[in-house]
């Protein structure tokens, strides 16, 4: 039994009603700073030497053998080992039958390093989001303050320019918040889709016309004949194409080409977006789909490609990156015609 427990990635510690250790695997012994063989048969209080911030032991705080009959276990808690390392514990109370007295306990232990790393990642995420929100918000605050303090001294053209800038920054804030909400929904599996059969050509052409009008950049659109419809939430499909085209414009000064063709993998449509920028090195292509990944001085929140990948997968499609014929980046999205959404 102990040999089998040694293969378990987390620490396992078991004790009887009398508080005698009956099983301890290598991982638990390492976390507790004891010898696994010598710990067998010892009192649980001598082995489970974990303290909280007030110096109380695990047993003093939880009293597992005195728990009322409806308690089944102890939720995850943070403790300190003798070496000062954080150890996370959970426990199951063992009873011969429901509502009977506790006859033994099984304690699970794992290092808190993983949680510390997660906390650092969350801190980095908060810092990045705060920076992205602060930039446009600073502009809004500055121009509004100038308008309030110097309204009578400003010309109509100056006021209009300031208000136009404030409006653009407000749009940027709204879009960033929408992207963050999409990221949260993708991460938690709560993304709501309303898919139906849609014309990829109609949706893509609308995106191209809108971006051309807003950027004064010409975008070439090539559409193959006899394209099937795609099974897509039109809003999410439009969001994917918009992110791809805007990324291509942001990362290159040359021509952007959007091609709609038959998917080579399954019944559906392949959307290909080529730019004439510097391209994306092979070793970095997996990182493109991570949160807040940016390159160069092109700006952007770094969420666009993460959302593209998440929305495509949510519809049963996928995204690949290659080299464009002109030397830039080529991003291809294969979008199915059938309902291939993964089961939740």
pLDDT digits (tens, 9 = 90+) for 279-292: 888 888 888 888 77
Q: How far apart are CA 32 and CA 9, in angstroms?
A: 15
User: What pTM value is reported for the model?
Assistant: 0.61
User: Which residue reads 């949510």 in tokens?
Assistant: 314
Residue 118 has a pLDDT of 67
Residue 344 has a pLDDT of 58
Q: How far is CA 35 from CA 28, 32, 117, in A?
A: 10, 9, 28
Pairing of strands 256-262, 318-323: unpaired
Q: How far apart are CA 73 and CA 17, in angstroms?
A: 14
Residue 239 has a pLDDT of 93
The helix or strand, by DSSP H or E, that contains position 182, with its residue range, turns out to be: helix 156-188
Q: How far apart are CA 23 and CA 5, in angstroms?
A: 9
Read off the pLDDT of residues 130-173 as tens digits, 9 standing for 90 and up: 777 887 888 899 999 999 999 999 999 999 999 999 998 888 88
Pairing of strands 73-80, 86-95: antiparallel
Residue of 229, 240, 233, 234 lying closest to 199 (CA atoms)? 229
User: Which residue reads 């303290």 in tokens?
Assistant: 51
Q: How far apart are CA 328 and CA 256, in angstroms?
A: 10
The two tokens of residue 284 are 């970095």
Q: How far apart are CA 11 and CA 9, in angstroms?
A: 7
The full set of domains in the chain, from first to last, is 2-111 (3.30.450.20), 116-188 (1.10.287.130), 196-336 (3.30.565.10)
Contacts for 212-219: CB closer than 8 Å, 24+ residues apart: 215/249, 217/249, 217/256, 218/255, 219/245, 219/249, 219/255, 219/256, 219/257, 219/258
Residues 6+ apart with CB under 8 A from 10: 27, 108, 109, 110
User: Which letter does DSSP use for residue 43 in this model?
Assistant: B
Residue 1 has a pLDDT of 54
CB 336 within 8 A of CB 315: yes
CB 243 within 8 A of CB 193: no
Residue 200 has a pLDDT of 96
Q: How far apart are CA 88 and CA 109, in angstroms?
A: 6
Secondary structure of residue 239 in the 3-state scheme: helix
**Which regions in the chain score pLDDT beneath 70?**
1-7, 116-119, 121-122, 124-125, 295-301, 344
CB 275 within 8 A of CB 324: yes
Neighbours of 204 (CB within 10 A): 24
């Amino acid at each position: 039994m102990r040999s089998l427990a040694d293969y378990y990635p987390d620490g396992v510690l078991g004790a009887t009603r009398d508080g005698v250790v009956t099983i301890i695997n290598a991982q638990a012994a390492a976390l507790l700073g004891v010898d696994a063989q010598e710990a067998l048969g010892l009192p649980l209080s001598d082995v489970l030497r974990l303290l909280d911030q007030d110096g109380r032991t695990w047993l003093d705080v939880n009293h597992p053998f005195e728990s009322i009959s409806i308690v089944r276990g102890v939720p995850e808690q943070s403790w300190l080992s003798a070496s000062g390392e954080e150890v996370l514990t959970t426990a199951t109370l063992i009873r011969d039958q429901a509502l009977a007295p506790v006859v033994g306990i099984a304690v699970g232990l794992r290092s808190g390093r993983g949680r510390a790393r997660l906390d650092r990642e969350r801190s980095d995420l908060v810092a990045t989001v705060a920076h992205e929100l602060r930039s446009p918000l600073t502009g809004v605050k500055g121009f509004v303050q100038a308008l309030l303090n110097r309204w009578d001294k400003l010309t109509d053209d100056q006021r209009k320019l300031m208000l136009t800038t404030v409006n653009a920054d407000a749009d940027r804030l709204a879009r960033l918040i929408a992207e963050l909400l999409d990221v949260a929904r993708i991460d938690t599996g709560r993304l709501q889709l309303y898919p139906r059969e849609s014309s990829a050509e109609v949706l893509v052409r609308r995106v191209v016309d809108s971006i051309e009008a807003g950027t004064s950049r010409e975008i070439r659109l090539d559409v193959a004949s006899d394209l099937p419809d795609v099974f897509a939430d039109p809003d999410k499909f439009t969001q994917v194409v918009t992110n791809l085209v805007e990324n291509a414009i942001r990362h290159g000064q040359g021509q952007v080409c959007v091609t709609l063709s038959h998917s080579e993998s399954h019944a559906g449509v392949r959307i290909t977006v080529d730019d004439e920028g510097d391209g994306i090195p092979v070793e970095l292509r997996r990182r493109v789909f991570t949160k807040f990944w940016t390159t160069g001085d092109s700006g952007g929140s770094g969420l666009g490609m993460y959302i593209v990948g998440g929305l495509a997968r949510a519809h049963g499609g996928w995204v690949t990156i290659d080299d464009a014929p002109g030397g830039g980046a080529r991003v291809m999205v294969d979008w199915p015609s059938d309902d291939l959404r993964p089961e939740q």
